[in-house]
Amino acid sequence: MKRVLAAAVLALAACGSKNASTPTSPTTAPPPAAEPDPLRAAAGTAGKLVGTAVQSAFLTDSRYTAVFARHFDYVTAEYEMKWDPIERARGAEDFSGGDAIANFAAARGMRVKGHALVWHQAVPSWVAGLSAAELRTELERHIRSVASHYRGRVVAWDVVNEAIDDTTSGLRDSMFRQKLGDRYIADAFRVAHEADPQALLFYNDYGGEALGGKSDAIFSLVKGLVDQGVPIDGVGLQMHVRAAAPPDEAGVAANMRRIAALGLRVNISEMDVRVGDAGGATAANLDRQRSVYRSMVAACVAEPACDAATFWGFTDAHSWIYSAYGADAPLLFDAQYAPKPAFYGVLDALMHR
Ligand code: XIL
């Protein structure tokens, strides 16, 4: 039942996006005449949602919001729905950042994906001192509280994020696994489902986009959950990739297909394409970046179970890549909000070009 309802919600979102070029707010500056076609209209025609991560602080910048509202119909909180920003002091929850994002989205007919209920990073410092029994209680309370708070306002949650270890391809030996055992993952999905039975529940990870050891590990984790009857609805492929060594499109398509064959959805959940180490001239790097964006989004467009493509930001003015990897230009618009070749790569993929 949940899948039917949620599918209707996503289909509705896709229909609504066809009218996306209508200005939606008096505070949103109209786009200049030379603005390219809205991504959300093309995505709607393809039956997909097109998303971006945002931070509430950016929503006061009208140049930012004009491009955000024109092109996207799906939004993920880049930071503000994680445990640490919500509950830095134990028992004192602050939903203001996530609420600002959810309210902005609701006013413009965008859907919201919650991110992320259980992640080994962005955990409040007080959590480290908990005993196993206390951690079980507090993690369950956290999931229940946050999923209940956003019930009816998010269509999906990343319930567990990045639980696979990079080197062993076993489960990451996080505090959660050490204290709660492997079952913390299944338990998290069950609690999230109780708190928000309508939300689609995703497992989200990086580095498992095409076929290979990590994607095999993700696949067997989610297959195990499906086999146990755990309420999981899909897998998010983060897609933080490099233009110099992009995932292979056929491998991504095959990986999406095997996930879909489990009865799950799949989405591109955090895409960006680094060019900082690509080595070529700027124009050549940006063209390689365009082609990576085009081929990865094309894999989603071709896969019926792929319901959304979300980018981890949209303007090179703001990206987590700079603090994690150094100078770069990883997104669809440049720092002045002009569309880059990457933007046209995404548009082409959505329009089957
Ligand atoms: C990053 C955000 O972009 C940063 O602003 C924040 O400080 C740390 O987290 N994988 C994820 C995201 O699932 O939550 C991460 O986001 C990027 C990697």
The predicted-structure confidence for 133-175, as pLDDT tens digits, reads as follows 999 999 999 999 999 999 999 999 999 999 999 988 899 999 9
Give 34's pLDDT tier (boundaries 50, 70, 90). Answer: low
Which of 58, 55, 51, 110 has its CA nearest to residue 77? 55
Catalytic site residue from 78, 140, 270, 303: 270
pLDDT range class, residue 35, cuts 50, 70, 90 = confident
pLDDT at 273 (0 to 100): 99
Percent of the chain with pLDDT over 70: 90
Per-residue pLDDT for 242 more than 80? Answer: yes
Question: What is the atom index within ligand 1 of the atom nearest the CA of 312?
Answer: 3
Collapsed DSSP state (helix, strand, coil) of residue 193: helix
Residue of 55, 56, 58, 79 to test ligand 1 pocket, by largest number of atoms within 8 Å of CB? 79
Give dist(CA 16, CA 41) in Å, integer. Answer: 9
92-96 LR contacts (CB < 8 Å, sep 24+) = 93/145, 93/146, 93/149, 95/149, 96/56
- Going by pLDDT thresholds of 50, 70 and 90, the confidence category of residue 14 is very low
- Per the omega criterion (within 30 degrees of 0), is the bond before 116 cis? yes
| Mean pLDDT, range 56-77, rounded to an integer | 98
| pLDDT tens digits, one per residue of 204-217 | 999 999 999 999 99
Task: Name the residue with the closest Cα to ligand 1, atom 16.
Answer: 78
CA-nearest residue for atom 8, ligand 1, is 79
State pLDDT tens for residues 275-301: 999 999 999 999 999 999 999 999 999
> Distance between CA atoms of 4 and 200, rounded to whole angstroms?
11
Pocket of ligand 1 (CB under 6 A): 78-79, 116, 161, 238, 270, 320
State yes or no: pLDDT of 12 exceeds 90.
no
What is the residue with the minimal CA distance to atom 6 of ligand 1? 79
CA distances from 159 to 15, 28, 221, 335 (A): 27, 33, 14, 32
For the cut 80, the answer to whether the pLDDT of residue 5 exceeds it is no
Distance CA 288, CA 30 (A): 31
- Ligand 1, atom 7: closest residue by C-alpha: 79
Supply the pLDDT for residue 36.
Answer: 84
Centre of ligand 1 to C-alpha 53, Å, is 9
Query: pLDDT class for 32, splitting at 50, 70, 90?
Result: low
What is the length of the chain?
353
Q: Which atom of ligand 1 is nearest to the CA of 240?
A: 18
Q: What is the DSSP-derived secondary structure letter of residue 246?
A: P
Counting from 1 in the atom list of ligand 1, the atom nearest the Cα of 313 is 3
Among this protein's residues, is 162 annotated catalytic?
A: yes
Q: What is the pLDDT of residue 4?
A: 42
Average pLDDT, the chain: 92
What is the model's pLDDT at position 138?
Answer: 98
Does pLDDT of 65 surpass 80?
A: yes
High-pLDDT (> 90) share of the chain, %: 89
Cα 18 to averaged position of ligand 1 atoms, centre (Å): 30
Which member of 80, 162, 209, 303 is catalytic?
A: 162
| Candidate from 55, 80, 312 with most ligand 1 atoms within 8 A of CB, to mutate | 312
Mean pLDDT of 100-104: 98
pLDDT band at residue 31 under the 50/70/90 scheme: low
Residue whose Cα lies nearest atom 17 of ligand 1: it is 320
Q: How confident is the model at residue 29 (pLDDT cuts 50, 70, 90)?
A: low
Ligand 1 atom nearest residue 55's Cα: 5
Is the pLDDT reported for residue 38 higher than 80?
Answer: yes
What spacing in Å lies between the alpha carbon of 192 and ligand 1's midpoint?
21
Query: How far does the centroid of ligand 1 lie from the alpha carbon of residue 78, in Å?
Result: 6
Q: 33 C-alpha to center of ligand 1: Å?
A: 34
Nearest CA to ligand 1 atom 9: 79
Instruction: Give me ligand 1 centre to Cα 204, in Å.
Output: 12
